[in-house]
């Protein structure tokens, strides 16, 4: 029987024991007030380990492994969302919702129409919080991995980074192929890795769109209704997960 509290760990079991340290250990002992013999679930390497707490100190929690089960919640496709940096705290919501739906990586980047334009130094201060939000969303949704929030990129760096994915897409409000159409659906179903580029408020400049398309990125269209920059990535992730059989 799995415990209702679930944590990711970088440590694999050693002689049937996993030791939780750092902030998670303090959270277990002080915030959750868990005690010896309480059950929890530790996630590592694609497996859930159902554990019983055998000892708690101020800095670590010793857990005895009772059962090991494979995690079936990870999508069959590796989806990267490239999100032009939005205003206010919209990126936090985008990360939370897309991770819950199955995105494996979120890459913020700067495009011409971005109003908020943090430099690398300013973004690094926020990056810790964004990665924490990502981890909490992974815990909440029962993911088998903690998806990555990348460092912020320029537009050109984003185009280069997208080349590592089998299928590369850009959401464009002025036209493109519907994701539900047969050609797009077949391409999605056959790709092991998918990258989707999404604009900030106001979408993309025409020159950016043309640069992406000339680089082999396929434009996609989500219909006549113009979605906000925080709704679009959630809708795209849900559609892709549905077409690929992950919802």
- The domain ranges of the chain are 6-70, 78-243
The pTM score is 0.86
Distance between alpha carbon 118 and the CA centroid of its chain, in Å?
Answer: 21
What is the DSSP track for the chain? Answer: ---S-EEE-SPPPBTTEEEEEHHHHHIIIIIS---TT-EEEEEETTEEEEEEEEEE-SSEEEEEEEEEEE---S-SSEEEEEEEPPSTTHHHHHHHHHHHHT--EEEEEE-TT-S----HHHHHHHHHHHHHHHHHHHHHHT-SS-PEEPPPEEHHHHHHHGGGSSEEEEE-TT--EETTSHHHHHHHHH-SEEEEEE-BTTB--HHHHHHHHHTTPEEEE--SSPPPTTTHHHHHHHHHHHHTT--
What's residue 166's pLDDT?
A: 94
CATH architecture of 78-243: 3-Layer(aba) Sandwich (3.40)
Q: Do domains 6-70 and 78-243 have the same CATH topology?
A: no
For residues 95 and 212, give the distance between their C-alpha atoms in angstroms, rounded to a whole number.
23
pLDDT for res 1: 56
Greater model confidence, 151 or 224: 151
Residues 89-134 pLDDT 10s: 999 999 999 999 999 999 999 999 989 888 777 788 899 999 999 9
Could you tell me the fold of the domain covering 6-70? Ribosomal Protein L25; Chain P (2.40.240)
């Amino acid at each position: 029987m799995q415990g209702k509290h679930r944590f990711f760990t970088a440590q694999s079991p050693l002689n049937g024991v996993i030791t939780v340290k750092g902030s998670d250990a303090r959270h277990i002992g002080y915030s959750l007030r868990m005690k010896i013999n309480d059950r929890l679930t530790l996630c590592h390497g694609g497996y859930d380990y159902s554990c019983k707490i055998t000892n708690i100190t101020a800095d670590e929690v010793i857990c005895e492994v009772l059962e090991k089960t494979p995690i079936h919640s990870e999508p069959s496709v590796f989806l990267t969302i490239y999100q032009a940096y939005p205003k206010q705290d919209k990126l936090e919501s985008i990360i939370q919702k897309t991770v819950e739906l199955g995105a494996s990586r979120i890459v913020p980047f700067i495009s011409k129409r971005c109003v908020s334009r943090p430099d690398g130094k300013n973004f690094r201060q926020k990056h810790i919080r964004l990665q924490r939000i990502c981890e909490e969303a992974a815990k909440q949704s029962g993911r088998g991995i903690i998806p990555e929030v990348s460092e912020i990129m320029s537009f050109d760096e984003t185009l280069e980074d997208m080349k590592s994915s089998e299928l590369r897409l850009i959401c464009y409000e002025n036209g493109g192929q519907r994701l539900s159409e047969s050609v797009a659906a077949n391409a999605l179903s056959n790709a092991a890795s998918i990258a989707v580029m999404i604009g900030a408020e106001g979408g993309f400049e025409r020159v950016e769109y043309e640069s992406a398309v000339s680089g082999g990125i396929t434009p996609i269209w989500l219909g006549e209704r113009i979605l906000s920059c925080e709704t679009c990535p959630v809708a795209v992730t849900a559609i892709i997960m549905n077409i690929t059989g992950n919802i």
